Structure 1
Amino acid sequence: MLVVRLLGPVLLLLAFHLRAAAQELPPVTRFEPATYGAGSQNWMVGQDEDRFIYVANNDGLLEYNGAQWHRYPSPNESILRSVLSVGDRVYTGSYMEFGYWEREATGRLLYRSLSEGVATQLLPDEQFWSILVYDEAVIFQSLQQFFLYRPESGALVVLRPGGGITKTFRLRNGLYFTGPERGLYALEGGQIRTLLPPGSASAPIVHLWEEDGQLVYQTDTAGTFVLGEDGPESLDRFPFLRGKRIYSALALQRGGHAFGTISNGLYLTDDGGNLLHHIDQVKGLTNNTVLSLFQDAQSNLWAGSDNGLNCINLPSPIRKYTDRSGRVGTVYAAARHAGRLYLGSNQGLFVRESGGEFTLIPGTRGQVWSLFAYGGQLFAGHDSGTFAITGGTARLIADLPGTWTFQSVPGHPDWLLQGNYRGLSVLERGPEGWRLRNAVEGFDLSARYLVLRPGGDAYVSHEYRGVYGLRLDPDYRRVTDVQHYEQPAKGKNAGLAAFQDSVYYYSREGIFVLRDFRSGFVRSPHLSEQVTGEGYVSGRLNATDERLWFVHADGLGYFQRGALRESLGRADIALAAGLIDAPLGYENITPIGRDTLLIGTADGYLTLARAAVPLQRHELYLTGVSSQSGQEASQVLDLTGGGSVPYAARNLAFSLAVPDYSKYFHPQYQYRLRGLTDTWSEWTEETTLRFPTLSYGNYVLEARSVLGRRMSENTVAYPFTVARPWYASYPAILLYLLGAAALTFLLHRSYTGYYRKKQRLWQVEKERAMAARQRQAELEVARLNNERLQEDIEAKNREAALSTMNLVKKNELLQQIKDELLASRDPQKNIREVVKTIDRNIDEAETWELFRDAFENADRDFFKKVKERHPDLTPNDLKLCAYLRLNLSSKEIAPMLNISPRSVEVKRYRLRKKMGLERDTGLTEYILDI
């Protein structure tokens, strides 16, 4: 009996655990202490107008902008207990200290104390556990008193309730707080009004909200109560919280409540108090003790735990079912049928009723490849064959091993064509239900991917052999024609699917479209250019009514026809890498609602509400700019830009952030550095941009982001200047110019002096050379003159000798004539002898030779020139020319030629003819001109 009594609660707890384990949970992002680099406990969370998150931590103030964490030590090195952002200030409270932080131009926070002005009013060991804003006042709450601070005036007022304070609640109609004696009070106009006297609450109040004009509160262990006119009344709410100790609670923005417990995790409810989710450490929390709760502007729920921080994406379109026990396994197929959700996995076929847990359908243990609903019947393709599924039962209707897929047969509503491990087979619906009709003969290869077209043409994709076209006979019993297509070639993880009257094959080589049975497939350039690249992971295609889905490296993609175009266009849903971790080539995407998809994973599945993919507006922030010189520590720069960076510190880093905290949707960034390039970079998830060793000049960093399917509302622009190095600065350039000018001047002066000296030496040398040449010329002229004089002397000597000889000869002739005249007594005889003597001495040739020698001494080139002009002249003609050259008349020439003057005239006439002179040209003048 005792065993039964003990077993009952255990079974109840186990059933509740299994039910809870079947939940499809919102994404939970865990931040371990090592992630944010601070203490383990987080006591309060806040958010500013830029959507940055602030956390009161054991080690100080934490700031998180969606990309980077920053820690600011508390002012007095104590634990920060509270934080609240109002306007451009972040207020914090700690041990014996409260104040606010303001952002500097560098983006860092600077603390200013408010408690210093009221140090005398602080109580011993006072800690400020909460900060609220109410009626334009910031209220710092400790366990003993309130400090009301008005930022406009800087006034600080102290309000000290007599019984102390445990928790403070801000509702629309007022400010409430509880005391250590379990009383409830309202703070109105600086006055305290008692709502519950001390001791009225059965346990400490941890949560207060308003329903139908009444106050409702939740105690830490005693349940829920409504504050009526006659006092608190117990409500039958939140039965799942019984036996749990609640430490923190929060009313959710979209209705419902969140309860953080000690040791039992987090509970989320709807408006009616029904449990939506129970999230504990097993399901994603960093710790089961939840110290603080906060809901941000995007409705994410932040849970500060005893060992870390958690962000629960309540508005996320993704819900994740994780089979941590391994009972369900890897999901290969899914279907929603007759109000039930079926999962086919490597462990078998599981079914879940609405709100229940997944149970294994008996007889289906093993590998399930596919689920197919047709004619009100659900079929399961199993490693053992084909099962007909009805509710939670399965009936084996075909024992051919390895049913991959199903295709309805056009024109035969009672037939189904199956693809098996060893070919094709046909199911037939009869009076007793579905049964195996026949195996199709003529094709015995694995038919994992099967498409059947009207007319009996089937197409099969074999991973290791490629694509086949099969023509079936009208009775679907045998294959009458087989076509093995050369294109597309076989491809690993490739897929084949029919979509909107076309058949598509997708592999790493691109997308191919069926042309006809004989021609086979042709590559589609339009579709292929949209999918080729590094993003390919699998060619598995999943066709729904309006979309053709596939998986790529960055998430999900699909093709659909646009409203204004007939061709297919691609769209993407960016998801975190590794979220869809199904085996490659076996990804399955199943519609289970109007616009909800179920995607199988290695440890369960996830659901995606496509219409809720992030479209919210978001802004991009430049959160930090730093420069570094060599191995020195980096210097933080102003975020306003426009400054000058020293050339030595030209290694720049820029930090970007989008304050979005989705686990599965991450922002991507694109940037360009104007002055370096005008081209935008590729999209990246890197939040730190580094530009090492920039050259000097003016730059503008521009950055933008995309989240889900929406671009950021702004583009960050940060202008800056890298200063010139000292050796390229303007003073240095001026110094260089002056130095260059001085050097040029010195060089010019040196070169001028050098060349002047060179010129002077050259001039002297030239003058010396000219003098030498002149002297040489003078000597040459003197030599020539001497030679000419010598020749003249020799000529004169020859002439003198000739004349002397002529005189001697004539004297001799005359003496001989004289002697003969004296010796002879016969006058006649003497005359004859004298005449003979004269004739002997009159030698014309010798006379001519003497004349010619004398003439050539006077005019050396005459005969040469005459012979060149008139080569046919005779010696007698040359004699006449010589005499004419002397300007002698015919009478004067006749004795010399020993002819008469008349004969001389004849000779002149003949000479003119030989020379070819015109009538008007005088012979003597012509010869004188030669």
Structure 2
Amino acid sequence: MKQFTKSASLILLFFLFGIPQLSLGQVKKIGLPQIKNYSRTDYKGGTQNWNIDQDKNGNLYFGNNDGLLQFDGATWSKYKAKNSDAIKCLKVGPSGKIYVGCYNEFGYFKANSKGKLEYFSISSFLDKKTLSIIDFIWKIHLYKDEVIFQSFDHLYIYKNNRIKIINAPKRFQFSFFFNSKLYIQDISSGILEYKNGKLNFLKGLNTLNNSEIWGMIELEKNKILTATLDRGLFIITNNQIVPWNTEANTFIKKNGSLGCILYKNKYVVINSVLDGIIVCDLKGNIIQHIDRSKGLQNNTVLASFIDNSNNLWLGLDNGIAYINENSFLTYFGSSYNLGTVYSSVVHRNNLYVATNQGVFCHPWNTDFKEGSFKLVEGTTTQAWNVQIINGELICASNKGALLLENGKIIKNLDSKGYFGFKPIPDHPNFFIGANYNGFSVFEKTSSGIKFRNKIEGIDKSSNSFEIDNDYLWLKKDQYLYQIDLEDNLQRTKTVKIFTQYSKENPGTGSLQRINNKIFFQSNNIFYTYSTKQRRFIKDIPITHIFKSIPKITRLTEDANGNIWYTFKESMGALIKTGNNKYKHVIAPFSNLTGKLVANYMSINTIDSKNTFIGLTDGLAHYDATIENKSILKPIANIRSFAFPGDTILLGNKQNKKEVYELPYASNQVKFTFSSPSYENLENIEFSYQLEGFEENWSAWSSSTIKEYTNLKEGNYKMKVRARNSFKIQSDETSTEFRVFPPWYRHSLAYLFYLLLLTCLVYYIRFNIKMKIRKNRYVETLEQRRLYLEKETKIKQEQYELEKEIEKLENEKLQIRLLSKDKELVNNTLQVVKKNKILNGIIHKLKDINTSSFDEATKNQFTKLNRSIVKEVNTDKSWKDLEKHLKNVHFEFLKKLKEKHPSITPREMDLATYLLMNMSTKEIAEFMNISTGGVDLARYRLRKKLELNQKENLIGYFMSIK
């Protein structure tokens, strides 16, 4: 809330005190207006500039030898007419068309849809024969609903796309349009008036026949000023032509005239052939003379034009010039022999100026429009100050303290270098000077001013010092020195140094005298020093005055009690209107921004009409009684809007605003700004905001270009405003554009994405369903497979179990078979034993003598013998046993035979008996050999089987089985 109140107070103060200053302006007789030259290297065109005009957007147009030049305050542009370069005349129509006249060609420029000026030929409506004799078009006039193009031989009247031609009675010179009347000079018939489609001869105006009239303006009703090339100035009144015997006429007779214009209905600007221009009042008194020596780059002025801010533009034989006639300020610069100005004062009817080159003077009561300042002989050095002390003029310079009189040095009071001088209160005959290494005392005696003594005890000094009844105060760098002097002014008592005035307000700011009282300032807070309290005390009234003023750097009070201050590189003033009442004036001094001398504030107020301000390049003059109503609100233009592939010149367009559409590939945009506020182009500032991208306005800047890259799709509005050197803001200017999204973010693309997403969802859903089905099918198959595998496994396990059972049964059966084999062998052995016994019985029966037996006994004996023999012969147990053994041990015998092919059947039988774990005795009985034969057979078998002694024969057979 405090910030808002401060800003509001500043704005209110400006409008209350600044705006009344903006009333009626006038051409000043003292000093020169600001002049800015544009060379052909600036505008990139030809040398000669024949005509000037301005459109409703503020753009200026120049008819140049190389085409049509356009200037918007920031950019120069050049356009060519059809089959012609030099444009001798131009006129901007109310519709925005720029009519131009060339050699054998005339037509108009008009902005196309992209703002670029395109040329349309009007002369193309003529037949070829007429086209070839057009010659140069010298003048263009908008007369009612007609456009009239004037050459030396014809008038071409364009209306409704048709051309009417009027021939010259003899030969036209030039034509002039004012007060809704069109006048044309014919070289032999005099002056004619075009009216109702015809030329009417004006009687009594033949005096200027065979003379070239270059300008005609109406000074007042029925009084027309006529400017000729070589015969001077004339007044036409009541059908009579009489010379205008004035100071202006004397000048033109000497230098020739190339035209004239009326300025503010109070002054006449007359172009000359040889010596620039003059500005005179309606009585012919020359007020200003501006030529090459005054800063104009060329002395031949072909055209002059007053823009919509009442400033003057000149088309030169070589270049273009802008003259700021509408300013509060005029200048004495290098054309007056002045460099950097540190001080000025009027003394005994001479204006003295202290500069970096010495002291210059000019008679105060002599006209300043002619003649330069003259150097005071002997002062060629750095002069820091020139001031009046005790009625005497003293200069503080690098050469010393110089006493001046009537433009000459009378005496060098002290050869040390000096910054300035101050009188001592209560010591009217003494004053103190600040030199390069301290302070000195000077005394005015009956024989004149003399150097008295150097003050001992202080070797610091600067141009910022003041003296009151108690102390000598010195401000140097960031320090404030309080110097207490002895009563005899010979030396210092004490020197105290301050770095701040209060703990709440750091720094020392500036030192100044206001209302004959010394004030100390820091951050716009003012203090006085209390000797009793020995501290700085805030001064409320003065501080309140500066409450809404920008933070000041230096301050001084002039002879009229006005307070002048500097801030940054600018200046303002508080013009005194009463006791502690001031009017704040800041706008008139905005053009001085950047031109003030740092740390040397030079203000010399002689009276309300004459204030001189020291600058880095001369002296400025300010007349506080001049007020100016013509300072208008500036115009902000968006000059161009560029993006990859195209550029739109918005500064030329006359049609309604439209929304520009950009593809996403062109989302890098560039804007250029301009403001046709030509008074001080260097101080024009712009602020902008891209709505839709930025939330706030940018800070004020002198930059005229702004680029944005990688803008997202959407609607944008570029807004621009301008602020001139008077800190007056323009209305907002804007243009709208839309960045389309890339194809992949277009609405149709999103529709496609929706359809694609729908299809994708359907496809995914379908796939999921199919996958579920497939998974179910696979799961069923897997279950079936698992079932079958399980079933197979069960069957396999069952089969293996059955095999195991079968194996077990086989093993059991084998065991049983072995057991049976054993049993069988045993039985067989029993049978063998039985047979053996029976054979023994048979043998014993043979030993019995049967002869002693009776027949019956003998028969029975024979029958018993036969029965025993039959039993022995019919017993096949052995063979059955052998057969059974081979069947039971078939696999073993087979493997044994395969492994040892050389083995004999007898050895195979032995192996079988050994496998059956039969004893040697049993084997001997079976094989019908002795037990020794069995051991021998076993030995041979081991040898054939290639077994060593450690290997077990039966174990070996078990491994084969």
Q: Which amino acid aligns with 2:565?
A: W
Aligned residues of 1:458 and 1:472 also touching (Cα < 8 A):
yes
Q: CA deviation at 1:657?
A: 2.3
Label 1:208 to 1:761 Cα distance change in 2 as closer, same or farther (>3 A). closer
SS in 1 for 2:58: coil
Equivalences for 1:763-782 in 2 at 5 Å? none
* Equivalent residue, structure 2, for 1:401: 416
* Equivalent residue, structure 2, for 1:224: 233
Q: Which amino acid aligns with 2:422?
A: Q
* Equivalent residue, structure 2, for 1:358: 373
Aligned residues of 2:723 and 2:730 also touching (Cα < 8 A):
no
* Equivalent residue, structure 2, for 1:32: 39
Q: Does 1:148 align with 2:160?
A: no
Q: For residues 577 and 744 of structure 1, what CA distance do their matches in structure 2 show? A: 73
* Equivalent residue, structure 1, for 2:332: 321
SS in 2 for 1:662: helix
Label 1:729 to 1:558 Cα distance change in 2 as closer, same or farther (>3 A). farther
Aligned residues of 1:493 and 1:585 also touching (Cα < 8 A):
no
Write the deviation string for residues 629-659 of structure 1: whole angstroms up to 9, x where unpaired.
3xx5546688723232111111212232222
Write the deviation string for residues 463-495 of structure 1: whole angstroms up to 9, x where unpaired.
4x8331112345544422210224499x99986
Quote the RMSD (CA, aligned, Å).
4.4
Aligned residues of 1:614 and 1:707 also touching (Cα < 8 A):
no
Label 1:261 to 1:105 Cα distance change in 2 as closer, same or farther (>3 A). same
* Equivalent residue, structure 2, for 1:686: 703
Write the deviation string for residues 150-195 of structure 1: whole angstroms up to 9, x where unpaired.
5xx5664433231121011234374322223483333344332144
Q: For residues 562 and 717 of structure 1, what CA distance do their matches in structure 2 show? A: 43
Label 1:55 to 1:380 Cα distance change in 2 as closer, same or farther (>3 A). same
* Equivalent residue, structure 1, for 2:433: 418
SS in 2 for 1:309: strand
Label 1:211 to 1:287 Cα distance change in 2 as closer, same or farther (>3 A). closer
Q: Does 1:600 align with 2:614?
A: yes
Q: CA deviation at 1:286?
A: 3.7
* Matched residues, number: 738
Match 2:51 to one of 7, 32, 44: 44
Q: For residues 523 and 732 of structure 1, what CA distance do their matches in structure 2 show? A: 72
Aligned residues of 2:327 and 2:588 also touching (Cα < 8 A):
no
* Equivalent residue, structure 1, for 2:475: 461
Aligned residues of 1:361 and 1:392 also touching (Cα < 8 A):
yes
Q: CA deviation at 1:265?
A: 2.8
With structure 2 as the length reference, what TM-score do the two structures score? 0.68
* Equivalent residue, structure 1, for 2:351: 341
Q: For residues 561 and 727 of structure 1, what CA distance do their matches in structure 2 show? A: 70
* Equivalent residue, structure 1, for 2:694: 677
| Structure 2: stretches of 5+ with no match in the other structure | 1-28, 795-961
Write the deviation string for residues 527-581 of structure 1: whole angstroms up to 9, x where unpaired.
899878xxx9xx554444343422534x335689999999999967675698516
Q: Which amino acid aligns with 1:79?
A: A
Match 1:470 to one of 479, 483, 488: 483
Label 1:379 to 1:730 Cα distance change in 2 as closer, same or farther (>3 A). same
* Equivalent residue, structure 2, for 1:303: 314
With structure 1 as the length reference, what TM-score do the two structures score? 0.70
Label 1:588 to 1:186 Cα distance change in 2 as closer, same or farther (>3 A). same
* Equivalent residue, structure 1, for 2:858: none
Q: Does 1:552 align with 2:568?
A: yes
Write the deviation string for residues 848-903 of structure 1: whole angstroms up to 9, x where unpaired.
xxxxxxxxxxxxxxxxxxxxxxxxxxxxxxxxxxxxxxxxxxxxxxxxxxxxxxxx
Label 1:633 to 1:225 Cα distance change in 2 as closer, same or farther (>3 A). closer
Aligned residues of 2:332 and 2:338 also touching (Cα < 8 A):
no
* Equivalent residue, structure 1, for 2:147: 138
Q: For residues 760 and 695 of structure 1, what CA distance do their matches in structure 2 show? A: 52
Match 1:262 to one of 258, 273, 295: 273
Q: CA deviation at 1:671?
A: 0.8
Label 1:636 to 1:159 Cα distance change in 2 as closer, same or farther (>3 A). closer
* Equivalent residue, structure 2, for 1:481: 494
Write the deviation string for residues 76-129 of structure 1: whole angstroms up to 9, x where unpaired.
334222111231232222223323333344333344433333447556143211
Percent of pairs with identical residues: 24
SS in 2 for 1:695: coil
Aligned residues of 1:366 and 1:383 also touching (Cα < 8 A):
yes
Q: CA deviation at 1:460?
A: 0.9
Q: For residues 705 and 346 of structure 2, what CA distance do their matches in structure 1 show? A: 45
Aligned residues of 1:182 and 1:204 also touching (Cα < 8 A):
no
Match 1:116 to one of 124, 128, 146: 124
SS in 2 for 1:186: strand
| Structure 1: stretches of 5+ with no match in the other structure | 1-21, 777-930
Q: Which amino acid aligns with 1:643?
A: Y
Q: Which amino acid aligns with 1:274?
A: N
Label 1:570 to 1:43 Cα distance change in 2 as closer, same or farther (>3 A). closer
SS in 1 for 2:255: coil
Q: For residues 522 and 744 of structure 1, what CA distance do their matches in structure 2 show? A: 80
Q: CA deviation at 1:37?
A: 2.6
* Equivalent residue, structure 2, for 1:810: none
SS in 2 for 1:166: strand
Q: CA deviation at 1:343?
A: 0.2
Q: For residues 179 and 558 of structure 1, what CA distance do their matches in structure 2 show? A: 56
Q: For residues 560 and 217 of structure 1, what CA distance do their matches in structure 2 show? A: 44
Q: CA deviation at 1:510?
A: 9.4
Q: Which amino acid aligns with 1:744?
A: V
Q: CA deviation at 1:623?
A: 4.4
Label 1:567 to 1:122 Cα distance change in 2 as closer, same or farther (>3 A). closer
Q: Does 1:207 align with 2:194?
A: no
* Equivalent residue, structure 1, for 2:461: 446
* Equivalent residue, structure 2, for 1:383: 398
Q: For residues 80 and 328 of structure 1, what CA distance do their matches in structure 2 show? A: 40
Aligned residues of 1:513 and 1:523 also touching (Cα < 8 A):
yes
Q: For residues 214 and 81 of structure 2, what CA distance do their matches in structure 1 show? A: 27
Q: For residues 50 and 92 of structure 2, what CA distance do their matches in structure 1 show? A: 15
Q: For residues 303 and 548 of structure 2, what CA distance do their matches in structure 1 show? A: 50
Q: For residues 762 and 346 of structure 2, what CA distance do their matches in structure 1 show? A: 94
Q: For residues 195 and 567 of structure 1, what CA distance do their matches in structure 2 show? A: 61
Match 2:714 to one of 697, 715, 730: 697
Write the deviation string for residues 174-220 of structure 1: whole angstroms up to 9, x where unpaired.
43222234833333443321445667557422233445644443322
SS in 2 for 1:80: coil
Aligned residues of 1:107 and 1:624 also touching (Cα < 8 A):
no
Equivalences for 1:465-614 in 2 at 5 Å? 466-474=479-487, 476-487=489-500, 496-499=511-514, 501=517, 503-504=519-520, 519=535, 539-544=553-558, 545-550=561-566, 552-553=568-569, 555-557=570-572, 575=590, 580=595, 582=597, 584-594=598-608, 597-608=611-622
Q: CA deviation at 1:425?
A: 3.2
Label 1:395 to 1:520 Cα distance change in 2 as closer, same or farther (>3 A). farther
Label 1:23 to 1:543 Cα distance change in 2 as closer, same or farther (>3 A). closer
Q: For residues 182 and 701 of structure 1, what CA distance do their matches in structure 2 show? A: 58
Q: For residues 276 and 65 of structure 2, what CA distance do their matches in structure 1 show? A: 21
Aligned residues of 1:625 and 1:652 also touching (Cα < 8 A):
no
Aligned residues of 2:419 and 2:435 also touching (Cα < 8 A):
yes
Higher relative contact order (CA 8 A, sep 6+): 2
Q: Which amino acid aligns with 2:480?
A: V
Label 1:268 to 1:746 Cα distance change in 2 as closer, same or farther (>3 A). same
Q: CA deviation at 1:715?
A: 0.8
* Equivalent residue, structure 1, for 2:303: 292
Q: Which amino acid aligns with 2:519?
A: V
SS in 2 for 1:236: coil
Q: CA deviation at 1:734?
A: 1.8
Q: Does 1:61 align with 2:80?
A: no
Q: For residues 95 and 329 of structure 1, what CA distance do their matches in structure 2 show? A: 47
Aligned residues of 2:328 and 2:588 also touching (Cα < 8 A):
no
Q: CA deviation at 1:450?
A: 0.6
Q: For residues 681 and 348 of structure 1, what CA distance do their matches in structure 2 show? A: 46
Task: Please say which of residues 417-426 and 512-521 is displaced more in the overlay.
Answer: 512-521
* Equivalent residue, structure 2, for 1:186: 193
Task: Please say which of residues 657-666 and 491-500 is displaced more in the overlay.
Answer: 491-500
* Equivalent residue, structure 2, for 1:736: 753
Q: For residues 757 and 580 of structure 2, what CA distance do their matches in structure 1 show? A: 69
Aligned residues of 2:31 and 2:330 also touching (Cα < 8 A):
yes
